[in-house]
Amino acid sequence: MFDAKQFINESIQLIREKIKGKALIACSGGVDSTVAAVLVDKAIGKNLVALHVDTGLMRKNESQQVKKLLEDLGLNNRFVDASERFFNALKGIIDPEKKRKIIGELFIRIFEEVAEEEEVEHLVQGTIAPDWIESGDQLRDTIKSHHNVGGLPKDIKVKIVEPLRDLYKDEVRAVARELKIPIAERQPFPGPGLAVRIIGEVTREKAEIAREACYIVENEIEKAARSGLMELPWQYFAVLLPLKTVGVHGDQRAYGYTIAVRAIQSIDGMSGAYSKIPHEVLDRIATRITNTLGDKVTRVVYDITNKPPATIEWE
């Protein structure tokens, strides 16, 4: 089995050997990057700068929560609001792989700017096994370019360090528990954020819809799990489809987008079975999404495909 204690000791040693001087970590506030940040902090202390970038594509109130988390963990942290840059860069982009590459490159450019100011040579990333597996290589097909691997530009000025490269999420969680990190059980959220949950072009308006819908799905499913109606899935969220359909709101025609609800059971994200959510919970989700989002969303559907054949996120 996996020995989290041993892993922590070994990786602190390895990090000390690899990183001389200062380092920057890109911290989304998810389990992977937070665990990587705490490990590197243990290895090199205040020589680590933990940077959080608000892409405008984070979930509801997420960036504020991440900022607080980094402070609570006692990390030397910095915060950059780059939402304008991300929305501009994504204007008119529909192809999911292009989206991921644009986001990957923009992240790196922002990291490089901060790295220069902070005079650091090393960039730490919370990359885990599925990120590089699915990004593809000489031997492996590209399923999707994870922004931190396949989305990286070729010309990078910083040296990349990835202490969690051989771990899967369940193992990262075991490390997080051992390190007493409060968000050890947080569900995965992709690096490109809501951009890959908005099918088609990403705009500020669509980001608002996807953000609210994701919030409702998370909130209702967590409530249902707490009251024993269902098990908490591995991942659960909303996807905004560019498909408009007809509704009837107060005897008037409405014409709005479609939200797909996705919930899946897995331990490592490499295979998955869709969650058998009770109908009463699906019912609550659909009603609340359509009532909250008014004529913007006229239809809610549930995704019942396993992985494979589908992937967990839609893009």
Partner 1 sequence: MVKIYVIDNGGQWTHREWRVLKYLGVETRILPNTTPYDDLVKNDIDGIVLSGGAPRIGLKDNLGRCGEYLENADFPILGICAGHQFIARFFGGKVEPAEIPEFGKVGLIIDKEHELFHGIPKKSVAWVSHNDEVTIVPESFDVLAHSDACKVQAMAHEKNPIFGLQFHPEVEHTEYGMQVFKNFVDICKK
Q: Which of 17, 141 has the CB closer to partner 1?
A: 141
Q: Which residues contact 81 (CB under 8 A, 6 or more apart)?
A: 54, 63
Q: Which of 153, 308 has the CB closer to partner 1?
A: 308
Rg from Cα positions in the chain: 20
Beta bridge partners of 240: 198, 259
Q: Which of 7, 189 has the CB closer to partner 1?
A: 7
Q: Which residues contact 260 (CB under 8 A, 6 or more apart)?
A: 238, 239, 241, 300, 301, 302, 303, 314
Among 1, 154, 251, 279, binds partner 1 (CB under 8 A): 1
Among 65, 76, 258, 306, binds partner 1 (CB under 8 A): 306
Among 266, 275, 290, 298, binds partner 1 (CB under 8 A): 266
Q: CB of 305: closest distance to partner 1 in angstroms?
A: 8
For residue 308, cis peptide bond before it (omega within 30 degrees of 0): yes
Q: Which of 89, 232 has the CB closer to partner 1?
A: 232
Residue 62 near partner 1 by CB under 8 A: no
Q: CB of 81: closest distance to partner 1 in angstroms?
A: 36
Residue 248 near partner 1 by CB under 8 A: no
Q: CB of 152: closest distance to partner 1 in angstroms?
A: 20
Q: How far apart are CA 186 and CA 33, in angstroms?
A: 12
Amino acid identity for residue 32 in this structure: D
* Closest C-alpha among 64, 100, 68, 106 to residue 85: 106
Q: Which of 11, 63 has the CB closer to partner 1?
A: 11
- Binding flags for partner 1, 100-139, as an x/- string (CB under 8 A): -----------------------------x---xx----x
Q: Which two tokens stand for residue 222?
A: 């967590």
- Binding flags for partner 1, 164-183, as an x/- string (CB under 8 A): --x-x---------------
The three state secondary structure string of 151-165 is CCCCCCCCEEECCCC
How would you class 268 by CB atoms within 10 Å of its CB: exposed for 0-12, middle for 13-18, buried for 19 or more? Answer: middle
Q: Which positions touch partner 1 (CB under 8 A)?
A: 1-2, 129, 133-134, 139-141, 143, 166, 168, 266-268, 270-273, 305-309
